[in-house]
Amino acid sequence: MSIRFDSVTVAYDGNVVLDSLDLTVAPGEVMALLGPSGSGKTTALRAVAGFVRPASGRVLLGGRDVTDLPPHRRGIGMVVQQYALFPHLRVEDNVAFGLRARRTPRAEIRERVAEALEMTGMAAYARRYPRELSGGQQQRVAIARALAVRPAVLLLDEPLSALDARLRSGMLAELARLHRELPDVSILYVTHDQMEALTLADRIAVMDKARLRACGTPRELYRAPADEFTASFVGNANLLPVTVTASGAALGDARLTVDTAGAAAGARATLCVRPHLVGLGDGPNRLTGTVREIQWRGSTHRLHVDVAGHAVMADLPELRDPPAHGAEIALHFAPEDAVLLAAGVSGDER
Amino acid sequence: MLVHSRGARWAVWAVFLVLFLPLFALPLLVVLGASFATHWSGVLPSGLTTGNYRAATRGEALQALTTSLVTALTASLLALAAGTWAALAAAALRKRQRRVMDALFVLPVAVPSVVVGLSVLVAFSKPPLLLNGTSSIVIVAHTVLVTAFAHQSVSAAIVRLDPAYEQAAASLGARPAYVLWRVRLPLLLPSLTAAAGLCFALSMGELSATMMLYPPDWTPLPVLVFAATDRGALFAGSAVAVVLMATTLLVLLAVSRVRTRASYR
């Protein structure tokens, strides 16, 4: 079922927390709402669930206007950060809750509870109470509980942020598998973690300060971000202030060859280069600078280099012979790996 | 531990015992001693007997015990129902309306219980609601007096209740009534039983409003204790008082067992 935000605005006491959001999630699509805290992403999700009422605008599920429907009549599944498993009910009763509330026949409840627990790998824990489970297990039960009612729309609000890093990447794979098994379920996935969004989402909606900044496939947003905020929030980015020239851009004395995409010569712009696309040594688009910091990260070296007063990060495959601190080195990047962002469009007051 | 050195810990215990024993324990121990006595002229009671208890557990006293139990149970259940209902309703109100509601429910505590007794007497002494002379008027007065405590402890628990639970329930398709019975009330159960215990204990010991209202055939135990001491039968009165104390403690113990079974975390 599709989810559509039609200029949805939410305000608390005159304080706008979501500013006329227009967004459509296609049936079966995984849409990540990515943004820092206070960006309005959770508010957007809660507007779909029915826990906040938009000041204006409509929320549509499968083409049906649900703006005025109470939460229990929207037919959604939801998993929140702290899981909110009912502490007084066993795992199986937690999972059966939605089905009992809908007066599903008893035999069918048993069947669907077993199926949901099987799907999330929690069948062995059916008789336990939530307090007897680990964080990751509680998470699975929360997902099983949401899936048992067979929702057409699944809302996930930071579902992995209470887990430690290793469990998180495991659960991420599980969520991807679940979505492959349930290809018709649309998923709205709220997160502040770019890795989760890049890994799981078909499309990412980047949000900042109550507004939608950009929306596109992870690859689009990563390869060709529309603005500085998106560039720095989706992956790491070197953002360099440049002046557009006839054949590319100028950073101080350095003449760089990049696609100007029709920007007028002489205009100010920001050049975005991903750190892992920066190479060491001579090559096209050569930059020279002083090594300020060398971080060894096991499989990579991260260099912080001062290029004419601008900090440039380079992530290089582990170097046999890393440059010394304070050394003068040359860096380069391929013209097609850089994106020119119009300055002042965004990233303004940050 | 707040106090680290061994000596200091002993000192703190000593201070505690010096303050606690005379204030709380000794009066109760004296009543216990007196309940077994026929005379008390020296340091310790004398003429030990169980006769006081024989009198305190039959006839008039037994009747009064039943009266007290029925009154306290009925009043605390009524108070719990009314207080919980009001607290749940207040939770959905705006801040200012909620404050008005809280103030209304605190009123019977703020007003001296003699005044509550008098007003109940005046209010229910004329038709159409003629309760004067019946057992109901005692139960009504007790309910009015203890509802405040039920309301207060339940509303405190409601404030602490994480809204995530009811929202999760609603998102699963549960109607508000279903959420109330299957999620909110079960989660509130520990506070509900605590409130019930408090109401019961308060009602068991209520004297001042009861004195103005009780009909001859509905004499609660505290009235009997008062009457006995009033006519100088201190030792007989002490035995009745111990019975009152023991019964109340027993019921509170039972309630607290329910409570430990009901607390999930």
Q: Do B171 and A145 touch (CB under 8 A)?
A: no
Q: Could you tell me how far CA B164 lies from the centroid of its own chain? A: 33
User: What is the amino acid identity at position B11?
Assistant: A
Q: Is A131 on the interface with B (CB under 8 A)?
A: yes
Q: Is A159 on the interface with B (CB under 8 A)?
A: no
Q: Do B186 and A78 touch (CB under 8 A)?
A: no
Residue of A nearest to B178 (CA): A101
In a domain, B50, yes or no: no
Each residue's pLDDT expressed in tens, for chain A with a length of 350 residues: 899 999 899 998 888 999 999 999 999 999 999 998 888 899 999 999 999 999 999 999 988 999 999 999 998 989 988 889 999 999 999 999 999 998 999 999 999 999 999 888 889 999 999 999 988 899 889 989 998 888 889 999 988 887 787 788 888 888 888 888 888 899 999 999 888 888 899 999 999 989 998 899 999 888 888 888 888 888 888 898 888 888 788 887 788 888 877 777 888 888 899 999 998 888 888 888 899 999 998 889 999 999 888 899 999 998 888 888 888 999 999 988 888 887 654 444 33
Residue of B nearest to A51 (CA): B167
Partner residue facing B172 (CB), from A80, A97, A131: A97
Q: Is B162 on the interface with A (CB under 8 A)?
A: yes
Min Cα–Cα distance to chain A from B255, Å: 19
Q: Is A19 on the interface with B (CB under 8 A)?
A: no
Q: Is A97 on the interface with B (CB under 8 A)?
A: yes
Q: To the nearest 10°, report the CA torsion of A312, A315, A320, A325.
A: 30
Q: Is A84 on the interface with B (CB under 8 A)?
A: yes
In a domain, B158, yes or no: yes
pLDDT digits (tens, 9 = 90+) for B77-106: 999 999 999 999 988 888 888 888 888 888
In a domain, B23, yes or no: no
In sequence order, the 6+-apart residues with CB closer than 8 A to the CB of A92 are: A113, A117, A126, A127
Q: Do A101 and B175 touch (CB under 8 A)?
A: yes
pLDDT digits (tens, 9 = 90+) for B150-207: 998 899 999 888 889 999 999 999 999 999 999 999 999 888 888 999 999 999 888 8
Task: Count up the domains in chain B and report the number.
Answer: 1
pLDDT digits (tens, 9 = 90+) for B69-80: 999 999 999 999
User: What is the amino acid identity at position A112?
Assistant: R
DSSP-based three-state secondary structure for B119: helix
| Preferred mutation among A52, A86, A145 to probe B, highest tally of B CBs within 10 A | A86
Q: Are B184 and B157 in contact (CB under 8 A)?
A: no
Is residue A145 within a helix (H) or strand (E), and if so which, with residue range? helix A135-148
Q: Which residues of B153-169 are buried (b: 16+ CB within 10 A; e: fewer)?
A: bbbebbeeeeeebbbbb
User: What is the amino acid identity at position B49?
Assistant: T
* Alpha-carbon span B130 to B137, nearest angstrom: 9
What pLDDT score was predicted for residue A345? 45
The two tokens of residue A71 are: 């939460």
Residue of A nearest to B169 (CA): A98
Which residues sit opposite A34 in a β-bridge?
A191, A206
What pLDDT score was predicted for residue A349? 38
Q: In what order do the strands lie in the sheet with A3-12?
A: A15-25, A3-12, A56-61, A64-65
Indicate whether B49 pLDDT > 70.
yes
Min Cα–Cα distance to chain A from B170, Å: 5
Q: Do A101 and B173 touch (CB under 8 A)?
A: yes
* Alpha-carbon span A151 to A142, nearest angstrom: 14
Min Cα–Cα distance to chain B from A209, Å: 25
Q: Do B167 and A149 touch (CB under 8 A)?
A: no
In a domain, B5, yes or no: no
Q: How confident is the model at residue B265 (pLDDT cuts 50, 70, 90)?
A: very low
Query: Minimal CA–CA distance to A280: which of A323, A250, A223?
Result: A323
Q: Is A75 on the interface with B (CB under 8 A)?
A: yes
Q: Angle CA(A323)–CA(A328)–CA(A334) in degrees, nearest 5? A: 85
* Alpha-carbon span A333 to A275, nearest angstrom: 10
Size of interface A-B (CB pairs under 8 A): 75
Min Cα–Cα distance to chain B from A102, Å: 7
Q: Do A88 and B264 touch (CB under 8 A)?
A: yes
Domain interval for residue B224 = 60-264
Q: Is A17 on the interface with B (CB under 8 A)?
A: no
DSSP-based three-state secondary structure for A231: helix
Q: Which residues of A touch B174 (CB under 8 A)?
A: 72, 97-98, 101
Q: Which residues of B touch A102 (CB under 8 A)?
A: 173
Min Cα–Cα distance to chain B from A61, Å: 14
* Alpha-carbon span B255 to B265, nearest angstrom: 18
What pLDDT score was predicted for residue A25? 93
Q: Are B71 and B86 in contact (CB under 8 A)?
A: no
Q: Is B174 on the interface with A (CB under 8 A)?
A: yes
Q: Is B261 on the interface with A (CB under 8 A)?
A: no
Q: Do A80 and B186 touch (CB under 8 A)?
A: no
Q: What is the value of pTM for the model shown? A: 0.79
| Preferred mutation among A43, A97, A109, A157 to probe B, highest tally of B CBs within 10 A | A97
Q: Looking at residue B201, which CATH number applies to its domain?
A: 1.10.3720.10
* Alpha-carbon span A306 to A326, nearest angstrom: 10
In a domain, B254, yes or no: yes
Q: Is B94 on the interface with A (CB under 8 A)?
A: no
What pLDDT score was predicted for residue B56? 72
Q: Do B173 and A72 touch (CB under 8 A)?
A: yes
In a domain, B40, yes or no: no
Q: Is B165 on the interface with A (CB under 8 A)?
A: yes
Q: Which residues of B33-63 are buried (b: 16+ CB within 10 A; e: fewer)?
A: ebbbbeebeeeebeeeeeebbebbeeeebee
Q: Do B171 and A101 touch (CB under 8 A)?
A: no
In a domain, B65, yes or no: yes
In a domain, B48, yes or no: no
Q: How many helices and strands, by DSSP H and E, does chain B display?
A: 13, 0
Query: Minimal CA–CA distance to A29: which of A196, A170, A190, A204?
Result: A204
* Alpha-carbon span B195 to A240, nearest angstrom: 65
Q: Is A146 on the interface with B (CB under 8 A)?
A: yes
In sequence order, the 6+-apart residues with CB closer than 8 A to the CB of A98 are: A145, A146, A148, A149, B172, B173, B174
Residue of B nearest to A146 (CA): B172
